Amino acid sequence: MRLPKSHSRHQPPKIGTMEGRAFTLIELLVVIAIIAILAAMLLPALSMAKSMGKQAACKGNNRQIILGLVMHVNDFEYYPVYNVDPTVSIENAFWPRTLSPYTGAIWTNKLYKCPDYKGLTLGGNADGAPLGSYGYNANGTKFTPSELGLGGALTKVALAQELADTEGGVLRVKESHVRSPSDMIAIGDAHLIWSSPAIIKGLYDVHISQPTYSGMGLLDINSRDGVQRESWLPSADIIRSTKRRHRGRYNVGFCDGHVEGIPRKRLFSRSHYTLRRWNNDNQPHSDLLHWQ
């Protein structure tokens, strides 16, 4: 029996439908181009989201470290010195060691490692400062150790006795010396320095294959300006490495415990408003800057 024409097994495709058609080369290329355009549009957004996630994690680290600093000050009524001089004390202990009872961490733990930091993380010793993510505002706007930052006039000296005066400065900065805690820089992303493989080997007995751009446990306007001046050969690479971290921002914690994300140019500007944030008396002291 013959089937009706409507049930024939060999009907041609209906006009206006995709049945029986394959993609042409041009159509495939158009689809690929559209996908490429969409990917190009999405990648910056994904990169931005990733960067913001790292910045948020860094701010969390900074906030926890700052809270440790606040608890130390509450207990002892003074701020830690930058480190202990081995000629005065048995141990050479830098400020993260002083805060370890409050942070529950040492310098090489995750707390002190910013996820956007690409430099070395090495503990300090009698010859070299700790290399890593975060830095302490020890000196204020003075190039050498002074009573204006948080480290005292002799940031490398800590004695068991109470706060003592020496040559117009103080060994330790008391809590009462900080006039405006909410406007006083304490701890933040360290400014970066250049170190060659020979320097790292000589100071830390660690082998690296190429120069590194690392923080030295210090957040200091004069040291930063010195290593970023145009006449200093590695300055371009230091600036480039700095800009890659948090898209050029510094996460900075203040003495009252809050943390701000500050663009690098604003943080290190020479304005009255910015400079006074480096000093515990809340004055700019621009005359003390080394690199005028």
β-pair partners for 263: 249
Q: Which pLDDT score, from 0 to 100, does residue 49 have?
A: 65
Assigned token pair, 282: 């809340």
Residue 2 lies in a domain: no
Residue 161 lies in a domain: yes
Assigned token pair, 129: 């400062």
Number of domains in the chain: 1
Residue 6 lies in a domain: no
* CB contact at 8 A, 226 and 190: no
Residue 16 lies in a domain: no
Q: Which pLDDT score, from 0 to 100, does residue 48 have?
A: 63
* CB contact at 8 A, 244 and 118: yes
Residue 251 lies in a domain: yes
Residue by residue, pLDDT tens for the chain (292 residues) are 555 555 545 555 554 555 556 778 787 888 888 888 877 776 666 666 677 788 899 999 999 999 999 999 999 999 988 886 445 555 677 899 999 999 999 999 999 999 999 999 999 988 889 999 999 999 999 988 778 999 876 555 444 444 444 444 457 889 999 999 999 999 999 999 999 999 999 999 999 999 999 999 999 999 999 999 999 999 999 999 999 999 999 999 999 999 999 999 999 999 999 999 999 999 999 999 998 7
Residue 143 lies in a domain: yes
Neighbours of 29 (CB within 10 A): 11
Q: Which pLDDT score, from 0 to 100, does residue 278 have?
A: 98
Residue 74 lies in a domain: yes
β-pair partners for 214: 193
Structural domain of 120: 27-288
Residue 12 lies in a domain: no
